[in-house]
Amino acid sequence: MVTRGVTTTKPTNSALGARAGMAVLAVVVVVFSLVASPPTARGQQAPINGFADTHTHIAASQAFGGSFRCGEPFAPGGLAAAMADCPTHSGAGHFALLESVLGGTDLPGGTQGFATFTDWPSHDSQLHEQAYFTGIERAWQSGLRVMNNYLVGNRVLCEALAAIGAPPRYSCDEMDQLRRQVDYLNRMEAHIDAVSGGPGQGWFRIARSPEDVRRIAAQGKLAVTLGVETSEPFGCRQVDDVPQCSREDIDRGLNEFASWGVSTVFPVHKFDNALGGTRMDEDLAGLAVNVGNKLGTQRFWETEPCAGPAADHAQPIADNGAADAIGAASSGAPAGAALPVYPADPICNVRGLTELGEYAVTSMMDRGMLINIDHMSVKTAGRVLDLAAERGYPGFVVDHSWSDPAMLRRMHELGGFVGAFAYPADATPNFDEGFLDEWRANSATVGGSFAGYGIGSDVNGLAPLAEPRPSAASDPLVYPFTAPSGVVMDRWHFGERIYDLNVDGVAQYGLYADWIADVLHRAGPDRAELERQLMHGAESWTATWEAAR
């Protein structure tokens, strides 16, 4: 889960300046918004042919206490029940204004979901469900073969919702939030089985090992794997530099993750924690998440000049003179300051991997888990990669465009898997770089082509999905199109609405079938190579997990 803010590209939000009155509410919420060829697969299994979305949040409706999002990816009552409008997210409801702030949209007089879907889902409806299961099915039909779902949680956000009149329905403990999502995904699999003919008949299969992924893919079905992206894993928050967890808590938590079949773990997410320092958000999100860091740890982020070319994100309140005057470069803020001022020069989080963090990371390696470094500070990621180099460990992932390029190169050299956020194919008003730009830049960073390349949709993760590209006016995706799987597809019918990528962008998960066809269309002379890499993505990701075990 991510509030978009990345090293090479970021969405802008022109509406934020006009909504100063919503700043406090935005602070409360945005806080938390949250190759060198991989080793050959074991044995003689046929390689998996399909693309991989290695960063999704399809069970996010169950996170943050259960009241934050409107809609669900399935419901026993079907589409009408799962995608019904929510009073709290419509008109003058608790989350209606917040939706407009996050998406930069007009203030809603109402939001119309089922059955016309006039207003949502849309590419900027960040508090409404964007991954109803029939949309996931459409993406699977287009060639999606691995979907890595991150179980997500944030205690601070969950507890803060009560302050705006939306008390949580479930526990705010982050491990409890994760457990609820594991149960939910099991029920989602059973629901899809039920509408597909009975137990085991569905196309949506939860995979708890690389062997499961290969077996499921060999059946032509979608392997859904589990990851963890949370700010206080195992209860490992840190308050005034005092860890709130022990090695025993870490062992117990990792054993529980292993029992779920977890593939991938973020040791650090939005806040500094007892394991290490975070790669700070930037722009307004940086301000908001820093307030969350203060609420959770009793400290604002503390920065220093970077030791090398790699840097963490710049901060919105930045001034070299003011920072020097108050000592923010070393302390983050003077005692009692309401908000910190940071240098405008490149800055790095002073916090790196802690002693407990080293224990957690090496324990993840011992269990053969993939480690995602995307949200780690430069110091944290550097030390983690040092540990991996010492033991020749390849089990790393970056998948949604957060790591500094220097970290990406080091991880790639160890044998890790690389993916990128699923931006529009080309730059747009809200994305100053397109997916193709980033793919080419990442290729240059690692000094060659990738054996397989992934996408990270971050669907349901408080991230705007790809908006329509302006070039579609003169060079549209032509319907019907042939998907990478060979299936011919026309515009997506969802309820009473017909979606068109050229007009609607990626309004909901079913449009990733259109998106990948559009990216390939816009790749020009690079099309064949990009298609090879994307359609080898599921194989490369699975082989990386195998090599870690």
What HEC string does 215-273 produce? HHHHCCCEEEEEEEEECCHHHCCEECCEECCCHHHHHHHHHHHHHHCEEEEECCCCCCC
Q: For residue 167, what pLDDT is reported? A: 83
32 is a domain residue: no
Q: What range does the domain containing 455 cover?
A: 50-72+123-230+394-548
Are residues 402 and 540 located together in one domain of the fold?
Answer: yes
Are residues 418 and 513 located together in one domain of the fold?
Answer: yes
d(CA 277, CA 241): 11
Are residues 408 and 505 located together in one domain of the fold?
Answer: yes
Is 438 a residue whose pLDDT tops 90?
yes
Contact 55, 400 (CB under 8 A): yes
When the pLDDT of each residue in the chain is averaged and rounded to a whole number, the result is 88
Query: Quick one: DSSP state of residue 338?
Result: S
Q: Which helix (H) or strand (E) holds 158?
A: helix 155-160
Residue 301's closest CA among 335, 322, 330? Answer: 330
Last residue of a domain, one of 296, 327, 349: 349
Average pLDDT over residues 187-191: 98
pLDDT digits (tens, 9 = 90+) for 400-428: 999 999 999 999 999 999 999 999 999 99
CA dihedral 310, 394, 263, 127 (to 10 degrees): 20
The two structure tokens encoding residue 47: 């390689």
The two structure tokens encoding residue 294: 């203060």
Q: For residue 333, what pLDDT is reported? A: 46
Higher-scoring residue by pLDDT: 89, 328: 89
Q: For residue 208, what pLDDT is reported? A: 98
Is 484 a residue whose pLDDT tops 60?
yes
Q: For residue 399, what pLDDT is reported? A: 95
Average pLDDT over residues 46-68: 95
Are residues 60 and 197 located together in one domain of the fold?
Answer: yes
Per DSSP, the chain holds a count of helices (H) and strands (E) of 19, 17
Is 371 a residue whose pLDDT tops 50?
yes
Q: For residue 285, what pLDDT is reported? A: 84
Are residues 434 and 305 located together in one domain of the fold?
Answer: no
Distances (CA, A) of 259 to 128, 250, 367: 31, 14, 11
Is 7 a residue whose pLDDT tops 90?
no
105 — pLDDT class (breaks 50, 70, 90): low
Are residues 343 and 398 located together in one domain of the fold?
Answer: no
pLDDT digits (tens, 9 = 90+) for 503-516: 999 999 999 999 99
Average pLDDT over residues 347-355: 97
d(CA 263, CA 439): 24
517 is a domain residue: yes
237 is a domain residue: no
Structurally, the chain folds into a number of domains equal to 2
Q: For residue 324, what pLDDT is reported? A: 62
Least confident window among 14-18, 229-233, 434-438: 14-18
> How much of the chain, in percent, has pLDDT values that exceed 70?
87
Contact 111, 96 (CB under 8 A): yes
Q: What is the number of alpha carbons within 13 Å of residue 517 lying toward its C-beta?
A: 31
354 is a domain residue: no
Distances (CA, A) of 25 to 68, 165, 174, 178: 13, 12, 22, 25
**Preceding amide of 115 cis, omega within 30:** yes
Are residues 342 and 202 located together in one domain of the fold?
Answer: no
Q: Which helix (H) or strand (E) holds 381?
A: helix 378-391
Q: For residue 44, what pLDDT is reported? A: 56
Q: For residue 27, what pLDDT is reported? A: 39
Q: For residue 543, what pLDDT is reported? A: 98
Q: How far is CA 63 from the centre of its chain?
A: 14
101 — pLDDT class (breaks 50, 70, 90): low
Least confident window among 41-45, 159-163, 318-322: 41-45
pLDDT digits (tens, 9 = 90+) for 265-296: 999 999 999 999 999 998 888 888 999 999 99
